[in-house]
Each structure stands twice: as C-alpha cells, then as structure tokens.
Amino acid sequence: MRGFLEALPFLIFVAAFIAIAVGGDVFRYLGGIAMSFSPLLFLLILGVIFLLSAVKIIPEYERAVVFRLGRVIGAKGPGLIIVIPLIDRIVKVSLRTVTLDVPTQDIITKDNVSVQVDAVVYFRVVDPSKAIVEVEDYLYATSQIAQTTLRSVCGEAELDELLSRREKINIKLQEIIDRQTDPWGVKVVAVELKKIDLPDDLRKAIARQAEAERERRAKIISAEAEFQAAQKLLDAAKILATEPIAIQLRYLETLHTIGLQNAKMVVFPFPFEFIELMRHKSGEKKES
C-alpha cells in the first residue's frame, strides 16, 4: 500500500501525458463538461508532481539504501536525494546506536551451577547496504547471536569467575558477537552483563562461606596482633634487663599513673636495691 501511494503521483503524470498525446479534448468526456487546457501549463503541473514524488529528505541519523530495478546502487543521504518513481525503491536504515536487551538465559556454569543471566548489547549499523542485503532482519539476527553467545561464554566460566570477572566476560562477549555481525555491516560497541540470579540454596551457601572467611581473617589478625605484642614485650624485657635504671623509671611512672586514677590509695615505693641487698645478706648467712 505504501509503495502504491509513493508511485501514485508518477502514475498520474503518465496518465496525463498520454491524455495530452491523444488530445486535449479527452478531458471533456471525463466530467461531461467541455474543458480547454493549455498543454504547457498542464505539463508544468505534472512536472511539479513528479519532482515532489522523486525528492526525498533523509535525516542526519539515517541513510537510504537505493534499489534500482531490484539492484542495489548504494546508500544515499543525509539531506536531499532524488529517486525515480517506480524504478527506484529506498529502504531507510538508522545509524544510531541500538540498545538491545538480551532475554534472561538459563545457564549451567563450568562447575555445574545453574544460574540465570541477562545482558544488554549496544550496537550500530556502519554499512547500511550490507545490513539490508546480507541479512533479512539485522535486529533479530543480532539478538539471536547475542543469546547463543551469552549461553556459550557463560557456560565455559565457573561461578566465581562469572561473579568476580564480569569485565573480562563482557570483553569476550563483545569480541565474539562483533566478529559474527561484521559481515552484516553491524558494529557491536559494548556488551554488559546486567544481572546474575542464583538459587536460594546457593545464596545461603555463599553467605556462610563469606562469614567463615571473615571469621578466619579476624582470627589471623588477632593472632598476628598477639605475636607482635609478645615480640615488643620481649624487646622491652631485654632493654630493662640490661639497664637497671630503666625499670626504676618505669616503676615511678606506674606509681604516678596509680596515683592519678585512685587518689585514696597510698603507695610506698620500695627500692629494688634494698631487695638485692637483703638477698645478698641472706646468701652470706647461709654460706657461713
């Protein structure tokens, strides 16, 4: 129907031209009223109608693939183009980036885990002639290629890789789909995994695994802290053993701290030298 409407001005032009060739009085029988036409004026009107049907305006984001007598002669546009009615046929192709939502796919990963994955594909037409001639419907074909490639690539990956290395999988998907759609004049710009649905049992198992991993890290950190504290205490004991005055200073600092925290407590310093002296005297008495 659309092709008939586009060719209607040309048909009127041909019919009028034949009528003029037969004679100007032929219009007299169409309405039963005698009419006299100027052939020049009528040809001018028909010329305007012909130009209106032949002139097409193509937007910046589209190209018109022209078929002349069934054979493609190339893509034209943007702007104003001239086509021959009934001889030329045009098919408009958009060059804008298309966002294709890939339906959810049931996938079994390499480690035999059943998941549901969906993605989005961004592509655009770079060769309008190939997109029309080489494939019947490039949108549908690209969608089917994206679905099969998504199942294939995700099925070759393990679950941990699928969850943690999405960027790597996205790049692999983009390369495979773009290589298969390149003969159609379609360029795949990007592929992104949107959502990965896991079974409820698997989610609970992953949650328990993550909780156990956090507990393990907490115990390791606590043990490392104990080891570092023991190491520092050992270093401090060595220093105090080699420098007797250091332990005396530490003792006085402890007394000062106790006095600040509890003012009711009375502390009498007892010198360590006196203890050493008492030990020395007791040793001499035993020997005697």
pLDDT of residue 239: 76
Q: What is the pLDDT along the chain (288 residues), one digit of tens a residue?
A: 445 545 555 556 566 556 555 554 544 444 444 344 566 776 777 777 777 788 888 999 999 999 999 899 999 989 989 898 888 999 999 999 999 999 999 998 988 888 999 999 999 999 999 999 999 999 999 999 999 999 999 999 998 888 888 999 999 999 999 999 999 999 999 999 988 888 777 777 777 887 888 888 888 999 898 889 888 888 877 777 777 677 677 777 776 776 666 656 665 666 666 666 666 666 666 565
pLDDT of residue 30: 46
pLDDT of residue 101: 93
**Cβ partners under 8 Å of residue 61, min gap 6:** 78, 94, 95, 96
Helix (H) or strand (E) holding 117: strand 114-125
The full set of domains in the chain, from first to last, is: 2-94 (no CATH), 98-198 (3.30.479.30), 243-288 (no CATH)
Please report, for the chain, how many H helices and E strands are present, in that order.
Answer: 10, 8
pLDDT of residue 160: 86
Q: What CA–CA distances, in Å, run from 150 to 109, 112, 176? A: 12, 16, 10
Question: Comparing C-alpha atoms, which of 177, 123, 186 is closest to residue 149?
Answer: 177
pLDDT of residue 121: 96
Quick check: 162 and 118 in contact, CB under 8 A? no
pLDDT of residue 198: 83
